Amino acid sequence: MKIHPTAIIDANAQIADDVEIGPYAVVDSDVIIGSGCKIGAHAMIHQYTDIGSDCQIFPFASVGSIPQDLKFKGEKTVLKVGKNTVIREFATLNRGTGEGGGITEVGDNNLLMSYTHIAHDCKTGNNVIMSNNATLAGHVIAEDYVILGGFAAVHQFVHLGSHSYIGGKSAIVKDVPPFVIASGDRAVLHGLNKIGLERRGFSQEALSLLKKAYKIMFRLDLTVNDALEKIKNEVQLTPEVDQFLSFIENSSRGITR
């Protein structure tokens, strides 16, 4: 373990033997830090935070602070960060709230750039990228491979589907289906995230079928129910198309269009 002599480590923190902690960093009580982690200078790891292996936390990040929610009354809640996640300078991640399930979860292989914010009770999947100053309000779900551009702001309780791309400076107030691009204030859809899907190995057949489903849902001026029925009757129901349909069918907030 390599801990700078100016770092402040609570005796009740559980820290793996090979963790590196920089100058003036603070690790609170009831914190768990996994093997291979590097904690930068002046970073603050708050109480009830569990950090997976091989994470990097850069200087001045605040990880696991209490929620910015007036309903929070000091109850024991947690922040859990998955393995191999990078948290850059001045990022802020809050614990959950008792009313919201008690846990904020960040997945594996996330990149949270400078000044990003993940509020209480959010859940991110794996391989999520949040560019500088992107913000998730409370209770947001961001599935695997979501990318948020700089200064994107996501309203509370919004659900972002996997492989969706959120443009910079966007305001997201409704759910964003998987595989699409959303951008603007208030955000609208701009087609499939074709380049991102190609980079991740989706076949041309899968892209073609998703494009057909997207066109029926969002370009034919149909009601959601009529579009869902038309897709089920006219488009081959591959796993990707099924995921697209299931997301829309289960949206409780309404879909960005």
Strands 111-112 and 86-87, sheet pairing: parallel
138 flagged as catalytic: yes
Question: What is the per-residue burial (b if ≥16 Cβ within 10 Å, else e) of 36-65?
Answer: bbbbbebbbbbbbbbbbbbbbbbbbbbbbb
Q: Which of 42, 46, 117, 120 is catalytic?
A: 120
Q: Which of 121, 159, 163, 175 is catalytic?
A: 121
Tabulate helix, strand, coil % of the chain (nearest 5).
Answer: 15, 30, 55
Q: Cis before residue 253, ω within 30 degrees of 0?
A: no
Please check whether residue 247 is in contact with residue 180, taking contact to mean a CB–CB distance below 8 angstroms: no
Q: Which of 22, 34, 52, 138 is catalytic?
A: 138
Task: Report CA dihedral (40, 43, 47, 53) to the nearest 10 degrees.
Answer: -20
120 flagged as catalytic: yes
- CA gap 28, 50 in Å, rounded: 11
- CA gap 11, 182 in Å, rounded: 46
Question: Terminus-to-terminus CA distance in the chain, angstroms?
Answer: 51
Helix and strand totals (H; E) in the chain: 4, 28
Length of the chain: 257
Q: Which two tokens stand for residue 232?
A: 């089920």
82 flagged as catalytic: no
Q: Which residues are catalytic?
A: 120-121, 138
